């Protein structure tokens, strides 16, 4: 099966899908649909591929991709650090038991409360994104009588050719200090005048779902050149360099991402050669993948509820989830591979359009999906590579309770996230009147 499917995904004798030795038909019966199914072996393997593929580099898991207590415990066990980008992600990491010094705190608009909490618990590095934040953090650290360990987020002027919504390295970005406008230099000078922040290094993340090693090589070169120039001009030797995440993954059989070890090789070699050329001491290096860690480990299981063939037009297949559990097709025109998984079928495929159950035409799961011609109501279908930016971007549109997530491994199933109930949906609502008074 693999391609974009989890490493342990295979078909049993009846053609039904199993993951981690567990049949998806059993999972649907016991846990319902929609359901996120995480292949633990796949997830741990991907962590290890980064750890070994980037020798001598600290791997930071970007928890925005999927932030649940269990998942963070798992990546923590595998030796990854964790990037959090909000007070909520920070809280989740702390509840998971990740040591605060192993956390990196991102965000272009961290609130006073968020920054103060980061100082209070002793987050390892705070990535400063703006002048406002620099001053805010300095004041907060002063009030606590401490010095905040920071990296400056640099916008390096590298245009990674990816979807507009996930480009971040170009000059006119909302993130970071734009290098070409002199803002990175100004940020360093400002920070050095402040007594309660200490600049330890720089961070540059150029975008997401990037294929090819060139943008990463360019990022390493630009940032190292900057560090060397700062040594000349400011007499400061920064010792840490975080090159961000963004490594592309396979969503369909047509995607051909670069092997992790090739990314690692390209980045580490570039850094080492450049350091020799510049006579600069090799900094502590970090990379920050999110999607590439959790994305491919997970599938979403849906049940088909209606099949509507329009003669000469589209055959619409509706499933029991949709844009509330995966906004990516609607937001980025993302294509995830899809398959009939509850059984096998010898019937030749026909192109159908799979949609969700939301009251919106943009509620797309997959356009022109080649699914067997005998696809019928009650069939289970699965969408591949949904571990990253689906659950984490989920909503309750149309008051659909959020699905459950389970972890499977060698025939065992563990719940990662429980399914929301209808009561959960109204738990925080405050009625204006008692129900009897309404009648
Ligand atoms: N570091 C920083 C500072 C980031 O902003 C991001 C992602 C990452 C690391 C991890 O990038 P990754 O390795 O996951 O590509 N919702 C979009 C992706 C948004 C990415 C946001 N930042 C999607 O579904 O494609």
Domain match, 311 and 263 both: no
- Report the CATH number at residue 251: 3.20.20.10
Q: Is 432 within a domain?
A: no
Q: Which of 274, 293, 312 is the last residue of a domain?
A: 293
Q: Which residue has the higher pLDDT, 215 or 166?
A: 215
Ligand 1 centroid to Cα of residue 131, in Å, is 23
Convert the pLDDT of each residue in 137-165 to its tens digit: 999 999 999 999 999 999 998 876 666 65
The domain boundary, picked from 243, 266, 293, lies at 293
Please indicate, yes or no, whether residues 317 and 222 belong to a single structural domain of this protein. Answer: no
Query: What is the tens place of the pLDDT at every residue in 315-326?
Result: 999 999 999 999
Residue 324, pLDDT score: 98
Q: How far is ligand 1, taken at its centre, from the CA of residue 159, in Å? A: 15
Mean pLDDT of 260-286: 96
Mean pLDDT of the chain: 95
Q: For residue 3, tell me if it sits in a domain.
A: no
Distance CA 370, CA 65 (A): 28
193 and 46 fall within a common domain: yes
* Domain tally, the chain: 2
pLDDT single digits (tens) 72-106: 999 999 999 999 999 999 999 999 999 999 999 99
What is the SS3 assignment for 105? strand
Total count of residues recorded for the chain: 439
Q: Is residue 433 part of a domain?
A: no
> pLDDT by residue (tens digit) across 396-437?
999 999 999 999 999 999 999 999 999 999 999 999 998 776
Residue 421 lies in a domain: yes
d(CA 244, CA 287): 5
Q: Are residues 286 and 304 in the same domain?
A: no
In a domain, 216, yes or no: yes
d(CA 294, CA 71): 9
CB 361 within 8 A of CB 354: no
Q: What is the pTM of this model?
A: 0.96
Mutate to test the pocket of ligand 1, among 46, 291, 389 (most ligand atoms within 8 A of CB): 291
Q: Which of 40-49, 93-102, 173-182, 225-234 has the lowest mean pLDDT?
A: 173-182
Q: Is 67 known to be catalytic?
A: no
Residues 212 and 350 in one domain: no
> Which residues have C-beta atoms less than 6 Å from ligand 1?
62, 64-65, 83, 106, 166, 205, 208-209, 244-247, 288-292, 328, 332, 388-389
Residue 331 is part of which domain span?
10-32+297-425
Domain shared by 180 and 248, yes or no: yes
349, 387: one domain: yes
Q: Are residues 264 and 214 part of one domain?
A: yes
Domain boundary among 275, 293, 311: 293
Residue 32 phi/psi, 5-degree rounding, is 80, 175
Task: Give me the pLDDT at residue 383, please.
Answer: 98
> Is 361 inside a domain boundary?
yes
For the CA of 60, the closest atom of ligand 1 is 9
CA 153/CA 84 separation, integer angstroms: 15
Same domain, yes or no: 390 and 369 = yes
Q: How open is the CA angle 300-304-309, to the nearest 5 degrees? A: 130
What b-and-e string marks burial along 97-125, b requiring 16 or more CB atoms within 10 Å of the CB? ebeeebbbbbbeebeeebbbbbbebebbb
């Amino acid at each position: 099966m693999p391609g974009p499917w989890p490493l342990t995904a295979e078909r049993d004798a009846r053609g039904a899908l199993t993951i981690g030795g567990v049949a998806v038909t059993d999972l649907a019966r016991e846990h319902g649909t929609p359901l996120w199914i995480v292949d633990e072996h796949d997830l741990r393997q991907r962590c290890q591929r980064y750890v070994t593929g980037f020798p001598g580099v600290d791997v930071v898991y970007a928890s925005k991709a999927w932030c649940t207590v269990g998942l963070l415990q798992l990546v923590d066990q595998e030796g990854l650090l964790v990037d959090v980008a909000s007070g909520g992600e920070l809280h989740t990491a702390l509840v998971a038991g990740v040591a605060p010094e192993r956390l990196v705190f991102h965000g272009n608009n961290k609130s006073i409360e968020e920054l103060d909490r980061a100082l209070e618990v002793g987050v390892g590095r705070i990535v400063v994104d703006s002048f406002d934040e620099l001053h805010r953090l300095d004041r907060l650290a002063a009030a606590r009588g401490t010095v905040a360990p920071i990296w400056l987020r640099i916008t390096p002027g590298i245009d990674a050719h990816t979807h507009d919504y996930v480009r971040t390295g170009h000059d006119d970005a909302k993130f970071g200090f734009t290098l070409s406008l002199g803002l990175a230099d100004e940020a360093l000078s400002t920070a050095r005048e402040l007594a309660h922040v200490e600049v330890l290094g720089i961070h540059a993340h150029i975008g997401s779902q990037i294929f090819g090693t060139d943008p990463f090589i360019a990022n390493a070169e630009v940032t190292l050149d900057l560090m060397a120039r700062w040594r000349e001009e400011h007499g400061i030797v920064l010792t840490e360099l975080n090159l961000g995440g963004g490594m592309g993954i396979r969503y369909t059989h047509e995607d051909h991402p670069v092997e992790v070890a090739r990314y690692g090789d390209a980045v580490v070699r570039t850094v080492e050669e450049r350091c020799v050329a510049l006579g600069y001491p090799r900094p502590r290096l970090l990379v920050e993948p999110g999607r590439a860690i959790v994305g491919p480990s997970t599938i979403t299981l849906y049940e088909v509820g209606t099949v509507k063939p329009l003669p000469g037009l589209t055959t619409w297949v509706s499933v029991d989830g949709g844009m509330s559990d995966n906004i990516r097709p609607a937001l980025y025109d993302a294509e995830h591979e899809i398959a009939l998984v509850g059984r096998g079928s010898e019937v030749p495929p026909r192109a159908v359009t799979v949609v969700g159950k939301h009251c919106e035409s943009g509620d797309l799961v997959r356009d022109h999906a080649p699914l067997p011609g005998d696809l019928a109501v009650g069939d289970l279908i699965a969408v591949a590579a949904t571990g990253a930016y689906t659950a984490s971007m989920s909503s309750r549109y149309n008051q659909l309770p959020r699905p459950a997530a389970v972890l499977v491994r060698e025939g065992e199933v563990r719940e990662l996230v429980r399914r929301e109930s209808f009561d959960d949906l109204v738990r925080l609502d405050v009625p204006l009147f008692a129900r009897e008074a309404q009648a």
